[in-house]
Amino acid sequence: MATNTPALYAVIGNPIEHSRSPLIHRAFARQFDLELTYEKIWAPIDGFEEAVNAFVKRGGRGMNVTVPFKLEAFDLAGRHSERAERALAANTLVFAPDPAEPIFADNTDGVGLVNDLTFHGVNVSGRRLLILGAGGATRGVLAPLLQQAPEELVIANRNPERAYGLVEEFSDAAGDCQLSGCPLAGIEESRFDLIINATPASLTAQLPPLPDALVGSGTVAYDMAYGAEPTVFMEWGESRGARALDGLGMLVEQAAESFTLWHGKRPDTAPVRELLREEILAAAQREAED
């Protein structure tokens, strides 16, 4: 690769066309006058490894990984951060200049969520938390949330066995936190301080069956999904008096963590949050006009 060629990065997934990662990473790079190329790569469901190898051959230095490849990304790497080991899933890969060196895998989703909660002044320590969903996103955020020492953390999932499995797997990280699982349709009717929707239900405007008693004054309803409009879950929380937040900030914060790992520089996330919000609203406007 010629020395004046901008370093090559990408986000890989299936689907990938709606990914905002290129916009975010280019905005971060501008803060440091850093030249980089950041692409979107669509890979066939059974073609993840091949797509990664082709990218590395082209001189790729780092990759963000999204649905459905986070587990495969972890397996492909030869070295892992502690938080990736804990999640058994990776959303960030680092490729050394020498392709013989092992790939390094990290998981920045959890710290992204915690940093976003901090940004919004949401305190987790000593609080009662409820997480809806027991998939990859929940797996990624559990340990960083438990590190904040909540009083209680309940994982509620449609298939309760997956929730029980996570409780067993993460029990050693729980410390004094009371960690438990339950079916999504069987959540104990008591007030939680923070309810995190880590299911993709909002993307199809579906609302899990949630009793009103979960929300009280001071409850935060946090949806990992985001869009131009508040999600159905956010509307459910807000209409019952909760403060509602979407996952846009988590997306920007997890990207900032990947950027720092790749470039050794920590970007300012506040202007990029605004830029992304504007871009999502503008895209919705364009769609409405079409």
Residues designated as active site:
70
Q: Which residue from 159, 171, 178, 285 is in contact with ligand NDP, where contact means CB under 6 A?
A: 159
Nearer to ligand NDP, 37 or 199 (CB): 199
Could you tell me the CA-to-CA distances from 263 to 4, 9, 27, 267, 275 in Å, in that order?
17, 11, 14, 10, 21
Length of the chain: 290
Residue 110, CB-side half-sphere exposure with 13 Å CA sphere: 24
84 close to 119: Cβ distance less than 8 angstroms = no
What burial class does residue 173 get, using C-beta atoms within 10 Å of its C-beta: 0-12 exposed, 13-18 middle, 19+ buried? middle
In 3D space, the residue among 57, 60, 47 whose CA is nearest the CA of residue 16 turns out to be 47
Q: Residue 181 interacts with ligand NDP (CB under 6 A)?
A: no
Nearest approach, Cβ of residue 179 and ligand NDP (Å): 16
Nearest approach, Cβ of residue 6 and ligand NDP (Å): 25
Nearer to ligand NDP, 124 or 250 (CB): 250
Q: Which residue from 62, 133, 181, 267 is in contact with ligand NDP, where contact means CB under 6 A?
A: 133
Task: Write out the binding residues for ligand NDP, residues 240-259 only, by CB under 6 A.
Answer: 247, 250-251, 254
Q: Which range binds ligand NDP by CB under 6 A, 57-65, 122-130, 198-206, 230-238? A: 198-206
Q: Give the helix/strand (H/E) hosting 106.
A: strand 104-106
Nearest approach, Cβ of residue 181 and ligand NDP (Å): 11
User: Quick one: tokens of 238?
Assistant: 């807000």
Nearer to ligand NDP, 51 or 184 (CB): 184
Q: Which residue from 22, 59, 183, 200 is in contact with ligand NDP, where contact means CB under 6 A?
A: 200
Task: Write out the binding residues for ligand NDP, residues 1-40 only, by CB under 6 A.
Answer: none
Q: Residue 109 interacts with ligand NDP (CB under 6 A)?
A: yes
Nearest approach, Cβ of residue 198 and ligand NDP (Å): 5
The CB-nearest residue to ligand NDP is 135
Q: Residue 228 interacts with ligand NDP (CB under 6 A)?
A: no
Q: Residue 67 interacts with ligand NDP (CB under 6 A)?
A: yes
User: Quick one: tokens of 270?
Assistant: 């506040």
Q: How far apart are CA 100 and CA 87, in angstroms?
A: 26
Q: How far apart are CA 221 and CA 233, in angstroms?
A: 8
| Helix boundaries (H) for 206-247 | 232-239
User: Quick one: tokens of 277?
Assistant: 């919000």
Nearer to ligand NDP, 59 or 227 (CB): 227
Instruction: Report helix, strand and coil shares of the chain as percent, to nearest 5.
Output: 45, 20, 40
Q: How far apart are CA 72 and CA 78, in angstroms?
A: 12
Nearest approach, Cβ of residue 152 and ligand NDP (Å): 20
**Helix, strand, or coil (residue 46):** coil
Which residues make up the interface to ligand NDP (CB under 6 A)? 67, 109, 112, 133-138, 157-159, 162, 184, 198-201, 203, 206, 208, 224-225, 247, 250-251, 254
